[in-house]
């Protein structure tokens, strides 16, 4: 068997069967290089196995509790900080938007006011003119037409209006009867 196979066996650890173990042992008797490797592997294994599992200094779990509490506090502070930052940013954005709207509205405010005043003034002018027409007409009519005529006209108009209302009512009743 080639030399490399024995090296492989030595480095494989505890996986050799009894036949392989015997063959390896017989090879080691005549091969100083493999014997040196074999010794090195076993000395390392012994060194590791005789070295104890190390322990932390006392109070490890208490220190852990302190540390986790600090970590949680930091986390909570971070969450609070992020939340406050987001709220502040949102408020700032909202205020900026509202401010911009007000600013743009302010730019058109005088024009709007002017238009409103113009509209009101036009209405006043219109009503004034109407008043100027209607007032002399009524005054002249009162002087020229006797009260008897005025009453007659009023009664006639009332009668015409009443007749129109009755005709409307009757026509609707007739339509309902026809459709029924």
Give contact residues for another protein (rule: CB under 8 A): 3-4, 7-8, 11-13, 30-34, 36-37, 40-41, 43-45, 47-51, 53-57, 60-61, 63-65, 67-69, 71
Cβ-based neighbours of 49, under 8 Å, separated by 6 or more: none
Select 44 or 117, whichever has its Cβ closest to another protein: 44
Report in angstroms how near the CB of residue 40 gets to another protein at its nearest. 4
Select 42 or 139, whichever has its Cβ closest to another protein: 42
Report in angstroms how near the CB of residue 80 gets to another protein at its nearest. 18
Tokens of 140: 């002249």
Q: Cα(59)–Cα(57) distance, rounded to whole angstroms?
A: 7
Q: Helices 3-12 & 18-30, crossing angle to 10 degrees?
A: 120
Select 36 or 158, whichever has its Cβ closest to another protein: 36
Q: Look-up: residue for tokens 């954005």?
A: 93
Select 61 or 111, whichever has its Cβ closest to another protein: 61
Select 19 or 30, whichever has its Cβ closest to another protein: 30
Q: What are phi and psi for residue 57, nearest 5 degrees?
A: -70, 155
Local structure of 13: helix, strand or coil: coil
Report in angstroms how near the CB of residue 98 gets to another protein at its nearest. 42
Tokens of 137: 């007409």
Report in angstroms how near the CB of residue 56 gets to another protein at its nearest. 4
Report in angstroms how near the CB of residue 9 gets to another protein at its nearest. 11
For residues 44 and 26, the answer to whether their CB atoms sit within 8 Å is no
């Amino acid at each position: 068997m080639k030399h490399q196979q024995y090296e492989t066996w030595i480095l494989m650890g505890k996986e050799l069967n009894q036949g392989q173990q015997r063959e390896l042992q017989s090879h080691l008797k005549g091969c100083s290089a493999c014997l040196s490797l074999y010794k090195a592997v076993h000395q390392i294994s012994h060194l590791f196995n005789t070295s104890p599992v190390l322990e932390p200094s006392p109070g490890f779990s208490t220190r852990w509790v302190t540390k986790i509490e600090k970590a949680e506090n930091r986390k909570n502070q971070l969450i609070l900080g992020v939340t406050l930052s987001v709220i502040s940013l949102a408020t700032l954005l909202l205020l900026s938007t509202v401010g911009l709207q007000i600013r743009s509205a302010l730019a058109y405010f005088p024009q709007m006011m002017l238009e409103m005043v113009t509209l009101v003034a036009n209405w006043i002018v219109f009503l004034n003119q109407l008043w100027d027409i209607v007032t002399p007409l009524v005054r002249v009519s009162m002087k020229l037409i006797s009260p008897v005529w005025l009453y007659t006209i009023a009664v006639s108009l009332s009668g015409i209006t009443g007749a129109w209302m009755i005709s409307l009512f009757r026509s609707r009743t007739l339509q309902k009867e026809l459709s029924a």
